[in-house]
């Protein structure tokens, strides 16, 4: 009996565009693929495999992932999910394909979905599906994202650290106080933006609480430029 390899692919929307890889390999013409990869025995489900692959290939997290297409090829069965990008940090890439230079480059590109069919996609059937459903897929994702009680929204948490000065009764910093800000750099997503830091996502099962100290749960200082801004 011929074995069948199971894989997952992501039609990953970032705004009105889809995120694709332009593949450059020695001895071959450039071609385009969607993010994704093989389902591993340790993956709890195809969706779990998809989220692992997106983290490894793009340092990405997404909202709801909808199974919209199944592609059957000789020796391979691919489940295709549509999802929206929540965050992306290319400095967190960890997949083996980015550690082996002999297999070429994965260039991240954003393309209008209706234009995907004009690219040399592998497989071409997936490119045709994306373009044919350029309007339908975003509508399905919007319906899934905002369905009451169906999906948990992503919640950002920011900790305002004040250096010097004090707080008024309305908890507003007084003159002379400074707040700690961070500026994103070398992440591949929203670089140059200033944000209150420390910050992060509220994880599933977490509760609101007032920490006894200003220490963040995990540090990402290597990808931030910090500054103190006078109030």
Q: What is the pLDDT of residues 24-66, one digit of tens each?
A: 988 889 999 999 999 999 999 999 999 999 999 999 999 999 9
Q: CB–CB of 224/197 below 8 Å?
A: yes
Which of 5-25 are b and which e, b meaning 16 or more Cβ less than 10 Å from the residue's Cβ? Answer: eebbbbbbbeeebbbbbbbee
Q: CB–CB of 49/8 below 8 Å?
A: yes
Mean pLDDT score of the chain: 78
Please tell me the predicted confidence (pLDDT) of residue 53.
95
What average pLDDT does this structure show over 175-190? 64
* End-to-end Cα, the chain, rounded Å: 70
H-helix or E-strand spanning residue 227: strand 224-230
Residue 203: is its pLDDT beyond 60?
no
Please tell me the predicted confidence (pLDDT) of residue 217.
40
Helices of type H across the chain:
46-58, 124-132, 136-145
Coil, strand or helix at 152: coil
Q: CB–CB of 134/150 below 8 Å?
A: no
Please tell me the predicted confidence (pLDDT) of residue 144.
83
Please state the pTM of the whole predicted model.
0.65
| Range with the poorest average pLDDT among 77-86, 136-145, 163-172, 176-185 | 163-172
Determine phi and psi for 158, rounding to 5 degrees.
-125, 135
Q: What is the pLDDT of residues 114-162, one digit of tens each?
A: 999 999 999 999 999 999 999 999 999 988 876 655 544 455 566 666 6
Share of the chain above pLDDT 90, in %: 47
């Amino acid at each position: 009996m011929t074995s069948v390899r199971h894989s997952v692919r992501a039609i990953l929307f970032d705004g009105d565009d889809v995120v694709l890889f332009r593949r450059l390999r020695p001895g071959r013409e450039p071609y385009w693929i969607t993010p994704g990869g093989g389902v591993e025995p340790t993956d709890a489900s195809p969706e779990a495999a998809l989220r692992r692959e997106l983290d490894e290939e793009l340092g990405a997290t997404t909202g709801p992932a909808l199974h919209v297409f199944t592609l059957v090829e000789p020796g391979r069965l691919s489940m295709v999910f549509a999802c929206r990008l929540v965050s992306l940090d290319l400095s967190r890439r960890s997949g083996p394909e980015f550690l082996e230079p002999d297999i070429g480059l994965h260039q991240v590109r954003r393309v209008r979905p209706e234009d995907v069919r004009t690219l040399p996609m592998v497989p071409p059937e997936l490119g045709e599906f994306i373009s044919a459903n350029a309007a339908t897929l975003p509508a399905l994702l919007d319906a899934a994202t905002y369905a009451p009680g169906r999906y948990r929204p992503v919640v950002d948490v920011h900790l305002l650290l004040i250096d010097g000065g004090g707080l008024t009764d309305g908890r507003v910093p007084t003159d002379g106080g400074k707040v700690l800000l961070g500026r994103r750099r070398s992440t591949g997503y929203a670089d140059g933006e200033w944000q209150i830091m420390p910050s992060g996502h509220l994880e599933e099962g977490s509760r609101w609480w007032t920490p006894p100290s200003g220490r963040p749960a995990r540090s990402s200082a290597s990808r931030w430029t910090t500054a103190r801004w006078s109030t």
